Amino acid sequence: MLKLFRTLKPWRIPIVATVLVVFAQSMCDLYLPNLMSDIVNKGITNGDVNYILSVGLRMLLVALGGSISAVAASFLSSHVAIGFSENLRERIFNRVSKFSLHEFDVIGTPSLVTRSTNDVNQIQNVLIMIQRMMIGAPITAVGGMILALRKDAGLAWVIFLAIPVLGVLIGTVASLGFPLFQAIQKKVDRINLIVRENLTGIRVIRAFNRGPTERERFAEANADLMVTSVKVNRIFAMMFPFMMLIMNMTVIAILWFGSSRIDSGVSKVGDMMAFMQYAMQILFSFIMASMMFIMVPRAQASADRINEVLDIVPDIADPDDPVSPEGGVRGVVEFRNVSFAYYGAERPAVEGISFKTGPGETTAIIGSTGSGKTTLLSLIPRFYDVTSGEVLIDGVDVRKMTLSDLRSRIGTVPQKAVLFSGTVRENLLYGKEDATDEELEEALKTSQSWDFVSAMERGIESPLAQGGSNVSGGQKQRLSIARALVRKPEVYLFDDSFSALDFKTDAKLRAALREKTADAAVLIVGQRVSSIMQADRIVVLDEGKIAGIGTHDELYRDCAVYREIVESQLTEEELA
């Protein structure tokens, strides 16, 4: 947690101000018992009304000063903690946005959500407590001990006996609670995972009538979290009664032994009352410190999880000396003996891949499920880096280019169409922020989206729900294609992006695409042979390796794997 708190430099002045007002509040709290002692010893004993009024007025002013200091401390500590948590969330988001897909696979999306929200809130809460209590408690404890000794050193042994007992109790509770707090955060991750899966897969769950099973799965995870939380709360529920018992026993001891000292004339009533107040302040300071032992272990577990994210160095980053393709032919993509293996995999997903495509050419990639088609496309924009070999764009290895330069040259349409909450226009502008209305309309017409978009109540300004849930699967795919077309890149990557389209729309879309992508390289991952037969080049993958490269006629004649795929999809009449 200290590692995170080292980044508090922007809030140095508010932190110093918080320390000062907390110090002022503690001084006011310590001064009041002394004034009360004077009233009892001098004013009431001697019947001096003027003295009582004078000291009473000072007590009111001190109490007012303590209240103002408490309000100021609360305001400043909250300002620092909330500002720090804002900065921390931003740091986490910025770091996560640079992660490669490998890092997402390792940590998991639900866990990243928990770390950005719940864990940051734990740090925020404990930071407020630290500024208020961890600063004020030592001042009050030390000051109270000094003043208590000045009032009646003969009773000091009562306090010094109570403090170690409190310390043992606090230490025992902290040692029992810390492992449970770590377990709680992991169980919160588990609940987030189940909720996320249920929300994103609600249609599948209902289609397979798995609602009761999912509710049972959530109930188990929820109950598991509840059981652990109850264990923690039981531990701390036992702590506070014991603390109050220690405080009450301390009060009884002070009254018992203090009354004997008053009877013998060694001490005065006002001094004993002040001593009792100081003893309560000292013990209360320890109780406040114990509150930190409730929050700090959980915050420490959260801090460890946040540091785990911030300490990750993304596998994929900009090179130290980036290279940008020089002028000349644009839109040339080349694979040179490329191999790639996923982390922990026993064998490469793709191996020994070599081919080249240029502007005006369409290269289709086909193969059985799991043959590495999507993996191959993912290597071009550096979603993953090759294990060996090179992927080049315009003659430059993609690993030598900055990510922004590389990806600005590419228009990607993923296998699963992704739309963001907002309007149709805002989604299209993801491709090019300064695109004109004419460019947006052209992209919509080319992607065969114009008819249904213009039929919407507000046209291109119509809102889209999160994930595009208010449009059909085919409409989402066409809008995703339109978004890529708006960019007008050098390279188009279509990852099975026509699977939700009917044959008529598919044919019209491909005819329009050929015209609009005439100056760019087009790589298409396809499942339907009929949709890739007209490609300039077809790459056939089989278990991650190239089984053949050529045109449809060449491959059907010479490549057994391709011939098997074709004959499984097309009839003899269609092949004739």
The per-residue pLDDT for range 222-253, each reduced to its tens digit, is 999 899 888 888 887 777 788 888 888 888 88
Separation CA 240–CA 357 (nearest Å) = 73
Instruction: Give dist(CA 503, CA 570) in Å, integer.
Output: 14
Average pLDDT on 531-553 reads 88
> pLDDT confidence of 24, banded at 50, 70, 90?
confident
User: What pLDDT score does 3 carry?
Assistant: 67
- How confident is the model at residue 363, as a pLDDT? 92
**Polymer length in residues for the chain:** 576
**What integer pLDDT is reported at residue 466 of this predicted model?**
75
Percent composition of the chain: helix, strand, coil (DSSP 3-state, to 5): 65, 10, 25
Tell me which of 268 and 406 has the higher pLDDT. 406
Pick 16 or 291 by higher pLDDT: 16
Is residue 178 exposed (0-12), middle (13-18) or buried (19+ Cβ within 10 Å)? middle
Rounded CA-CA distance 260/266 in Å is 9
List Cβ<8 Å contacts ≥24 apart for 57-61.
59/32, 59/35
**What's the pLDDT band for 529 if we cut at 50, 70, 90?**
confident
Alpha helices by DSSP H, listed for 381-488, are 403-408, 424-428, 437-446, 450-454, 473-487
Identify which has the larger pLDDT, 216 or 314. 216
Helix 269-310 with 156-200: angle, nearest 10 deg: 30
Listed range (59-68, 341-350, 477-486, 500-509) with the worst mean pLDDT: 500-509
Q: What is the mean pLDDT of residues 486-499?
A: 86
Taking residues 89-105, what's their average pLDDT? 84
Instruction: Say if residue 336's pLDDT is above 90.
Output: yes
Show contacts of 79-82: CB within 8 Å, 24+ apart. 79/11, 79/14, 80/8, 80/11, 80/14, 80/15, 80/18, 80/127, 80/131, 81/124, 81/125, 81/127, 81/128, 81/131, 82/124
Q: For residue 252, what are its two tokens?
A: 């009884």
User: Which CATH fold topology does 329-409+492-499+526-576 show?
Assistant: Rossmann fold (3.40.50)
Check pLDDT > 60 for residue 121: yes
Residue 1 pLDDT grade (very low, low, confident, very high; cuts 50, 70, 90)? low
Mean pLDDT within 552-569: 86
pLDDT at 391 over 90: yes
Please name the residue ranges forming H helices in 98-155.
Answer: 101-107, 109-116, 118-129, 135-152
The hierarchical CATH code for the domain 2-310 is 1.20.1560.10
What's the mean pLDDT when you consider all of the chain? 84
CB 275 within 8 A of CB 148: yes
For 177, half-sphere exposure in the C-beta direction (CA atoms, 13 angstrom radius) is: 27
**How far is Cα 99 from Cα 479, in angstroms, rounded to an integer?**
26
CB atoms within 10 A of CB 452: 16
Q: What is the pLDDT of residues 435-448, one digit of tens each?
A: 888 988 888 888 88
Looking at residue 480, what DSSP letter applies?
Answer: H
- Separation CA 478–CA 396 (nearest Å): 31
At residue 469, the pLDDT reads 77
Residue 134: CB atoms within 10 A of its CB come to 17
- pLDDT above 70 covers what percent of the chain? 95
- Intra-chain end-to-end CA distance of the chain, in Å: 71
* % the chain with pLDDT above 90: 10
- Residue of 454, 508, 519 whose CA lies nearest to 481: 508
Burial (CB < 10 A; 0-12, 13-18, 19+), residue 239, is buried
The answer on pLDDT for 98 being more than 70 is: yes
172 pLDDT tier (thresholds 50, 70, 90): confident
Confidence of residue 337 (pLDDT cuts 50, 70, 90): very high
Q: Where are the domains of the chain?
A: 2-310, 329-409+492-499+526-576
Q: Tell me how far apart the alpha carbons of residues 217 and 209 are, in angstroms, rounded to a whole number.
A: 14
